[in-house]
Amino acid sequence: MMRRWIIAGVAVAIVGVLAALPFSLRHVGFFRVRQVELVGVRYLAPDSVLAALALREDENVFDDLGAIARRVTRLGGVVSVDVERKLPGTLRVSIVEQVPVAFAPGAERLVALDGEGKTLPYDPAATGLDLPIINRADTVLARALSVVRLADSALFQDVDGARRNARGGVTMDFGSRHVLFAGIPQPEEVRAVGAVRRHLATTGRRYEELDARFDGWVVVRRMAT
């Protein structure tokens, strides 16, 4: 019995030492943060992420990583943040960004929008984004484009712009050609349009418009000759 108590006491002592270790190491200069690795940063400017980290000159890899992550989470366009320590002096910051789906005119330049039509702090000139253009921050258009992006990424990449049509639906422009939806499309409607579009391209048939406003059908309207 005494032996069991001794073993239990040693185990508790070890746990206590391990729990106190990170706090003790926060004051050791060898573990000062000397490098930051950014992972997943595609749309945000790296400088803005580094600024959001707000690291002190004497920041230590054993400081509270949760506090650092929370500071970056407050940055616009950030969905989630995970901060890991890599000994002796590196922090690895992994970021999941909000995906942009469109551009809309802003006060001074085009601004990126997410799938809900909310403005994102992404600089088009710095990131090289190539997105469809809509005439304003419109929730319906943004959601429609978001569905297209998720359902058929190849189709999304060819969309030049989107707009509301006269009957409250959504028209997407592909150069001189158009695709009509009754509103925010369902994924299966998008995939049907993509399949028809690829078939027409394969067979060399010319068309002007694909109309997906009919349940289960995609109507092909040929170009006037």
The per-residue pLDDT for range 16-68, each reduced to its tens digit, is: 333 444 545 544 456 799 999 999 999 999 999 999 999 999 999 999 999 99
Structure confidence by residue, pLDDT tens digits, 139-152: 999 999 999 999 99
Q: Compute CA distances 99 → 64, 173, 222, whole Å.
A: 28, 21, 35
155 with 67, same domain?
no
Residues written for the chain: 225
143 with 170, same domain?
yes
Range of the domain at 206: 102-221
Q: Which of 50, 73, 97 is the last residue of a domain?
A: 97
Judge whether 160 and 130 are in contact, CB under 8 Å.
no
Structure confidence by residue, pLDDT tens digits, 94-114: 999 999 999 999 888 899 999
153 with 189, same domain?
yes
pLDDT at 169 > cutoff 70: yes
pLDDT at 154 > cutoff 80: yes
* Distance from C-alpha of 109 to C-alpha of 105, rounded to nearest angstrom: 6
Confidence of residue 127 (pLDDT cuts 50, 70, 90): confident
Q: How many domains is the chain partitioned into structurally?
A: 2
Confidence of residue 88 (pLDDT cuts 50, 70, 90): very high
113 with 210, same domain?
yes
Judge whether 132 and 178 are in contact, CB under 8 Å.
no
